[in-house]
Each structure stands twice: as C-alpha cells, then as structure tokens.
Amino acid sequence: MSNTEAAYFLCKSLEGSLTKPSLRGSQQSCVVNVASVGGQLSTGSGIAYEMSKAALIQFTKSLAVEWAPKNIRVNAVAPWMMYNEKLEEAVRVVPSALDTFKRRTPMGRLADPAEVAGPVAFLCMPAASFVTGVCLNIDGGASCQMFEGPTSC
C-alpha cells in the first residue's frame, strides 16, 4: 500500500471517532501525516517515493479544508534525513552518504527522531489550535537552499 493510500484509508476509518465529543472533550481532534521534504523537492529519493509524499501533502491540505467544520485539524510534517535503521543500512552500502547528507543540510547535521517527534506533538497541542492544512518542514534548513553548500554575501 502506498504512502497515500495508507493515510487515506486510516483517516477515513477514524473520521467517526475523531468527531465524537466524548473522545476529545472540548478539544479539537487532529491528524498529523508524515510526508517528506522529498514531497516538495527532488532529493534523490526516487520519483515514486517523492510523488507519493507530494500527494500526501496535497491530501493533508484538502482534508484540512473538508474536516475543518467538523473541528478536526489536519497537518503534515516533512522531515529530511534523520538517524534511523534505514539510514544506517544505506551508510553501510555507501559510507560517504552520511557526509553528503550533512553537507546538504545547512545546520550541518541530521535530525534525531525526537527532533521530529517534538513538532508533531506541537501540532497536536492546543497551542496549535488555529493551525490546519500546513506542512511543517523539519529539515535543518535543507529545503531553503537550491544548491549544495553554503551561501556567501
């Protein structure tokens, strides 16, 4: 099942639960989809992956509009590279990959999974009660530059 299909069917199956006042009390319900910077830019992740993440971002925006009257907020996050098992496997195959990813990130490092979880938690908090339909990049500035390397003034 693709990234998009999984999100679609999960959201549709939970819609009834998300609208129940007993579930949320006086609070809003919310959904946070996990997209990728690859859904906004070509990152070398492959066209099928990047296309599915772009569709997930658009799904998030469309569903945010559709569900806003139901008091359900829908947002997405778009992480860049972070340390995880999949990255460890890739680095074993191409040891220089880690240095390349760090060089392509203005902050000069990759995210820790907790640095992605924190913004997801924020999007679920009352502090984000007027935020819906956005895709928050969690990328150390990687999506801000169109080329590899630092800028000079």
Annotated catalytic residues are 49
Of 30, 32, 28, the residue nearest 7 (C-alpha): 32
In 3-state terms, what secondary structure has residue 73? Answer: strand
Q: Can you read off the two tokens belonging to residue 49?
A: 């992956």
In 3-state terms, what secondary structure has residue 29? Answer: strand
| Strand partners for 73 | 30
Contact 26, 32 (CB under 8 A): no
Contact 46, 146 (CB under 8 A): no
